Every structure is written in C-alpha cells, then in structure tokens.
Amino acid sequence: MEYLEIVLMFLKAFAVGGLICVIAQVVINFTSLTAGKILVIFMLSGVALTALGLYQPLVDFAGAGATVPISGFGYLLANGAMRGAQTGLFEALTGSLAAASAGVTAAVVFSFLMALIFKSRTKYN
C-alpha cells in the first residue's frame, strides 16, 4: 500500500469520526440532554442507520472513523443481529451479543486491570 493511500485512509477516518464528535458537541451545547441520553441516541442512531442500509457505506468509506464512536457500537449490534437473523430467530437474538462480545470483554478486562493498578477517588479529593 502506498503512503498516500494510508494518509488518505487516516484523513477519511479523522473527518468522519470528527464530524460525529462535532454533532455530539453541538447536541451537548444546545440541548439540556444528559450524557447518558446522548449516548443512547447515538447508539440507537447507529442501529437505525444500519437497518436502513445507510451506515455500511459510511463504514466502507471511513473505516475506524465510523466504527469507533458509539454509533459504531450500534452498527455492530444491528449488523450481528441481521446476520444472525439469516439463520433463525434465536440467532437473531444472540447475534448482536456474539458480534460485540470481544469488545465488551476487552473493556471489562482492561477496566479491571486499571482498577487494580490505580487508586480510584472522587473528582473532588
């Protein structure tokens, strides 16, 4: 792969991921929604856009720029459920769990390791 292609890949990922972050920041600044509600809205938007077939072209274009934000987690869950639904009803229910299991497991394990290494405290201590 040529260096120019790699730089172009990084630029596309940065532009799309940055645009998702800009949208989130605008929502934070101009609404009274809590962080949890915003996360749920973005995750569900990833699910909805995947169901409509609009998120896959974004993933194909931007790669990690579209899959790393929380909307990418919604894409992952919906994509796993849709692939599982091709096999049967039970697989449709468990497909999203199977698709997301590696990422969730890594998050839990690394969070546990960091909790062992660092001493947690409140923000005001």
The reported pTM is 0.79
Torsion of CA 58, 63, 69, 73, to 10 degrees: 80
Q: What is the pLDDT of residue 125?
A: 57
| Max CA separation in the chain (angstroms) | 53
Q: What does the pLDDT look like over 50-104, one tens digit per residue? A: 999 999 999 999 999 999 899 999 999 999 999 888 888 888 888 888 888 888 8
Q: What does the pLDDT look like over 4-57, one tens digit per residue? A: 999 999 999 999 999 999 999 999 999 999 989 999 999 999 999 999 999 999
